[in-house]
Chain A
Amino acid sequence: MDIGKITFLLNDEPVTIYADPAESLLHLLRDQLGCMSPKEGCGRGECGACTVILDGKAVNSCLVPAGKAAGKNIRTIEGISDGKSVHPLQRAFVEKGAVQCGFCTSGMIMSAYALLAENPAPRQEEVKRAISGNLCRCSGYKQIEEAIMTAAEEMNENRVRFVEKEQKE
């Protein structure tokens, strides 16, 4: 096993680590960087529990060789809020009862986060499609879809409020 130096941005912070580039990004995040939100479910790109955002796109971190992370910007659920308040998606998941055992939740939220970044006002069908690569075995898809729709609305209302405030000032 050859160890290489890998530098990338993790939630906007530059990190440099020494790792086998054939290791999965998932293991790198969990075992070396202590970033525990991506979960290992199937380990073969079928369950989405390990979903992270790589340069703006949702990917299965279990299928990404660590070497591919070099120079990229990686976002996990640790990096979607400011640490003081929760992200609207996180709040909506709690309020809508979209969390049961919680194993799929961070992956679900990262898929939803990637969707809302590209499409701030998705239709129900588009939400379903965006989380079609994330399995929930407690079978709470309905609440999860509702939570994502609710978060999208809240984020759009916040944007309107922000613009109105700007205009007043």
Chain B
Amino acid sequence: MSYFTAASLDEALNVLREAKGKALIIAGATDLFLKGMPSQAVDIASLPELGMIVEEQDYLSVGAAVTHAAAASSPLIMVKAAALAEACAAVGSPQVRNLGTIGGNLVNAAPAADAAVALAALGAKAVLCDIDGRRRVEELGNLYAGYNQSRIDSSREIVLNLIFKTCQFNEGSAFARFASRRALSLPMVNVAARVGLENGVFAEVRLVAAPVKPAPTRLFKTEEALLGKEPNEETRQMVEELASAEVKVRGSLLRCSADYRRHLIGVLAGRVLMAAVRRVQDKEES
């Protein structure tokens, strides 16, 4: 095989263009290495332009080659997008988090990828660039073609960064997962929430669960039922019931039954919602 470590984005795009579909972009390679390496690899993991975490006005841009470890320990992400920091800290092991990237997590398109679930709750969009230099911005949901199948064609396009609105003073986010062990274990369920409170009631809610469909799935009905409600124990119980009633899930012989998964989605939905609310309240109190 041939292995090319790109020194710039232009260089990476040039190699893809010249390879005419035969070369594939790789980043951390933790998933790809086990699936099988492409015959021509273009490594973009150390491109400085893809490794940045930048706040611009009310938006945060996270480079596609930012590792899970870097995202989990970034003060900017911890403060302005706590759900993403929590999700990245939950992936695999320290060794895997030091290699695996946020962009790679999306392109790998696993249905319950921790970072993808948090990004979906935050309302992130992906910025992509193709070999002709054309840039486009996509909703995360549009990047999935099916279970473990991405629409992103790594032989002709590169995810540059993820962009989302930072959590403002009245907003908070949180992520939770349930797995058989706390490390090195794939989640049975992961859920993330982003909430906005106004005058003590929910003004905005984004609640995302996985694995439900190929892509992280918003629980629209539960979100809608929350608007105008006060965050309290009664609301939490309502969320538990609504969230588990709203999802159609599949069971897995290895991980858990469909019933258990549905139950877990309810419980975790209630938890992340209240955790996100507490983050708003902490800001108000301090």
Contact = CB atoms under 8 A, between A and B. Distances in A.
Interface stretch (A10-18, A19-27, A89-97, A143-151): A19-27
A94 B278 CA distance: 46
Contacts, number: 90
B264 to A, nearest CB: 22
B184 A70 contact: no
B99 interface: yes
Contact of B93 (A21, A45, A54, A68): A45
B99 A59 contact: yes
Nearest to B67: A57
User: Which residue among B34, B69, B92, B94 has the maximum number of chain A CB atoms within 10 Å of its CB?
Assistant: B94
Interface in B75-109: 92-96, 98-99
Contacts of A46: 93, 184
A68 B29 contact: yes
A133 B92 contact: yes
Interface string B32-64: 011001000101010000000000000000000
Contacts of A71: 5
A159 interface: no
Nearest to B2: A2
A20 B26 CA distance: 16
B2 A63 contact: no
Interface residues of A, number: 33
A72 to B, nearest CB: 9
A58 interface: yes
Given A2-B2, A71-B5, A111-B95, A65 B41 contact: yes
B207 to A, nearest CB: 28
Contacts of A22: 1, 3, 37, 41
B182 interface: yes
A36 interface: no
A130 interface: yes
A45 B96 contact: yes
A147 to B, nearest CB: 18
Given A65-B41, A67-B41, A132-B184, A58 B94 contact: yes
A60 interface: yes
A37 interface: no
A123 to B, nearest CB: 15
B93 A132 contact: yes
Nearest to B94: A133
Interface of B: 1-3, 5, 26, 29-30, 33-34, 37, 41, 43, 45, 69, 92-96, 98-99, 182-184
Given A130-B94, A135-B184, 11 more contacts: A45-B34, A48-B95, A60-B30, A60-B96, A68-B29, A70-B5, A111-B95, A132-B94, A132-B182, A133-B92, A133-B183
11 contacts: A1-B1, A46-B184, A59-B99, A60-B93, A65-B37, A67-B3, A68-B29, A70-B3, A114-B94, A133-B93, A135-B184
Which 6 pairs from chain A and chain B are nearest by CB? A133-B93, A67-B3, A21-B3, A132-B183, A57-B98, A22-B37
